[in-house]
Amino acid sequence: MCPPRVHRYKILATKYKIPEAMVDHTGFEKKLNIVFKNKDLLTEALTHRSYLNEHSSWRLPHNERLEFLGDAVLELVVTKFLFSKFPERPEGELTSLRAALVNTDALAEVAQGLELDRFILLSRGEMANAGKSKKNILADALEALIGGIYLDQQYEVAEVFIERHIISALESILTTQKYRDPKSVFQEQAQARVSITPVYQVVNEWGPDHDKRFLVGVYLKEELIATGEGASKQEAETNAARQGLVVKNWTN
């Protein structure tokens, strides 16, 4: 005989015609070392907007509100940590360190380490478009998860989670100086090595207003050095500069 909680998941899976693994997140909770009191918060955090387009009877909202909350919690925890750890560093350096810890690439890497992509609910179309491997989807879901942890477990548990999985990358960031703004570094290197100031141009943009994506190229005079993608022009420019440093071998 199935335990009550497992039986409830079977009922939900049958009613909404989704695999039980997508509803029963017990394995994921073990990986997080967090057991949600309100299981709906965890499921909501892992529900992408696109999933609702194909499942109109799905009883939970998508994860964008939790993402909004989680983003604020994440910024507060990281800011508080950096403020306390580096009392001698100016605001500008603290901002750069925070950005290095919470940018889309960094958060997507953490999400992949948690195998979060195995549990995100996406539309078939988004899945066919490699949606589960998209960095912005992974990063957004991680922020939504943080929002869910905050609501379900309160601030202290969310703080421990963020310190363990996100702030733990700080030592590596300091060693490699990844906290330095790639655009500033690329400009310094370009001016010092070839006496040219780089320029950025939008190569392409697509997607609805709520999920806009930009492809930006970084140029030295007329030469396209590299491109970068992002949810904003600024993020795309940063990624283009980061890739440009690799292409030009200006990383040392």
- Among residues 86, 81, 105, the alpha carbon closest in space to that of 160 is found at 81
Q: Which of 143, 152, 229, 237 is labelled catalytic?
A: 143
Q: Determine contact, residues 233/240, Cβ cutoff 8 Å.
A: no
Q: Determine contact, residues 78/166, Cβ cutoff 8 Å.
A: yes
Enumerate long-range contacts of 203-209, CB under 8 Å, 24 or more apart.
Answer: 203/227
Q: Is 211 annotated in the active site? A: no
Q: Determine contact, residues 67/144, Cβ cutoff 8 Å.
A: yes
Q: Which of 71, 140, 152, 159 is labelled catalytic?
A: 71
Contacts of 10 (CB under 8 A, 6+ apart): 2, 20
Q: Is 40 annotated in the active site? A: no
Q: Which residues are catalytic?
A: 71, 143
